[in-house]
Chains A and B, each alone.
Chain A
Amino acid sequence: MKFQMPWRQHPVVYLLFPAGVVLLIFFFFPIFFLLLLSLRKYVIGSIPSGLTLANFFHFFSDPFYLDVLLSTLKLGVLVTCITLVLGYPVAYFLVRTRLPFKNWLRMAVISPLLVSVVIRTYGWLILLSDRGLVNQMLTGLGIVEQPVKMLFTYNGVLIGLVHVFLPLMILSLVGVIENINPSLEDAAENLGANWIQRFLWITLPLSLPGIIAGSLLVFSLSIAAYVTPQLLGGPSLLLLSTMVFQQIMVVLDWGFGAAIAVILLVMTLMIIFIYTRILNLGKRWEV
């Protein structure tokens, strides 16, 4: 126990209040209000009193909405798997490389995170259009004869989202790979393991906490991404997030919009719960 001077003990706690009050009123209460609203049937002009699960029944009984839910989840799984497979070698390289300017390399990989998603997506709009650079290259190299339609398709959204979340995945992986002691890999090599065995038996299992944490993070963010699906998917491609926006801002069915948002929220909270459990497990292993 460290001796603490009494003046340092008490008053400092009160400094929590301003931020606490602002968050309580303008963040936690709105979320609670959203829950409340999702339990009410909305009729234009007034919100009838009384709680009901009608909005949720409406969602889960209509194959159309279930389809949207399913394609959102599928997109999340695809984005997660692709960013994981693409990102792992990059993260490994960033940690183990002996090149100079290591920090600058890292910054270069992370820097797209700081550019507004609108601008990054706008870049993809230019690249993926029928006369865009990607199609020019594909036709120029003779890989395809006709330009491939990528804009306003599911695959276009997939490419955009992989681009948005790849730096995030790399960042989570770098965190764990950094903590793997290189001498463990050397030991495996000295004992005659080839690089595939070394990877499968040493590096991969040791980076598992980061793989799981990064995957959950990317999954929960990608099922709720709004800007990229809206711009690259166009008006006809519906996902949960774009449907929330449509219901609230266009259809003006606030109750139903709130219900879809709550479904997204519940999925996110479940993932966060698993995420923290796994992080805690990781901590226990370290001891």
Chain B
Amino acid sequence: MMWGVKLRGLVLGIYNILIFIFLISPLVIVVLVSLNDTQYISFPLKKLTLQWYKTIPEYMEFVDAFMVSIWLALLTAICSTTLGTMAAFAIVRGRFPGRDMISTLIMSPLTLPGVITGIAMLQFYTWISIGPSLGRLVLGHTVITIPYVVRSVSAVLYGFPLSLEEAGMNLGANRLRTTFLITFPLIRSGLLAGAIFSFIVSFDNVVISIFLVSPLYNTLPITIFNYVTYSAEPIIASISTLQMLMIILLMVILEKVMGFSKYM
């Protein structure tokens, strides 16, 4: 009996390790290729090098795309955090008919596949003649990231003791002062989680961006996507590795702010 249990535990453990290897292997291989001195990788690695990282500045399209992506992700995070936080307040605090339906509608950009949303936006923008610009990318990304903010902000708002706000108001602060001095500091973690999540989603997005970009406003993932289609230069691996490092850094911040697994 005991042996059976132990054996089962062992098998389950080994199985999980194998799945874990499967999950991280494509990420690890990208990092390895970025450090390898030849384009084709064979084990054991012969020589590790940082040469690909040094040549990144020569690839202007990647540098430009990185800047576009950073601006895009920042603006998206600002817009969706503002709009999403306001909506979350209304949904959590408001009492009005059709509240459940409205919160479902607000979350719906999350459930529709990106291809559909992307082409719908492209056709709409073309129809109302909004040409390729950073603005239409920001709008597109804001729409799909609002649900993340609503989710993380309402999570903290639900557990928020209203008595603290009442105390502030009783002490003579007006509603605006109370909101900024009491409410926001207390729900800061939800706000920050929503903002960082929006930033990551926007920075990683391909499927909406691919319909809205133009040669002048190309994002980093789209540039990588176009490159990968035609070549396998290790330069892409080094750029991808840097992008992963940035996302990991943001994730660690998010985990420090509050257990991020709550929001997945």
Which residues of A are at the interface with B, using a C-beta cutoff of 8 A? 4-5, 7-9, 12-16, 18-20, 22-23, 26-31, 33-34, 37, 86, 89-90, 92-93, 103, 106-127, 129, 131, 133, 136, 163, 166-167, 171, 195, 220-221, 224-227, 230-231, 241, 244-245, 248-249, 254, 257-258, 261, 264-265, 268, 272
Check if A163 sits within 8 Å of B23, measured CB to CB.
yes
A171–B263 alpha-carbon span in the complex (Å)? 11
Residues of A within 8 A of B194 (CB): none
A119–B237 alpha-carbon span in the complex (Å)? 8
A13–B92 alpha-carbon span in the complex (Å)? 10
Check if B20 sits within 8 Å of A19, measured CB to CB.
no
Q: Assuming A19-B146, A126-B33, is B26 touching A12 (CB within 8 A)?
A: no
In the assembled complex, how far is the CB of residue B155 from the closest CB belonging to chain A, in whole angstroms?
15
Contact bitstring B3-22, A, C-beta under 8 A = 1, else 0: 01000100011011001101
Check if A12 sits within 8 Å of B15, measured CB to CB.
no
Check if A122 sits within 8 Å of B23, measured CB to CB.
no
The one of A8, A126, A268 that contacts B162, using a Cβ cutoff of 8 Å: A8
Question: In B74-93, which residues have CB < 8 Å from any A CB?
Answer: 82-84, 86-87, 89-91, 93
Residues of B within 8 A of A28 (CB): 105
List 16 additional A-B contacts (Cβ < 8 Å) besides A121-B26, A126-B30, A167-B23: A12-B90, A26-B124, A26-B142, A29-B124, A30-B124, A34-B120, A93-B16, A107-B261, A109-B23, A118-B206, A119-B240, A227-B207, A258-B123, A261-B115, A261-B116, A264-B113
Chain B interface, number of residues (Cβ within 8 angstroms): 89
Which residues of B are at the interface with A, using a C-beta cutoff of 8 A? 4, 8, 12-13, 15-16, 19-20, 22-30, 33, 40-43, 82-84, 86-87, 89-91, 93-96, 102, 105-106, 108-109, 111-117, 119-124, 127, 139-140, 142-143, 146, 150, 162, 166, 175, 200, 203-207, 210-211, 221, 224-225, 228-229, 232, 236-237, 240, 243-244, 247-248, 251, 255, 259-261, 264
Check if A171 sits within 8 Å of B264, measured CB to CB.
yes
Check if A14 sits within 8 Å of B90, measured CB to CB.
yes
The closest CB in chain B to the CB of A33 belongs to B124
Q: Assuming A16-B90, A258-B123, is B232 touching A195 (CB within 8 A)?
A: no
The one of B23, B96, B150, B247 that contacts A13, using a Cβ cutoff of 8 Å: B96
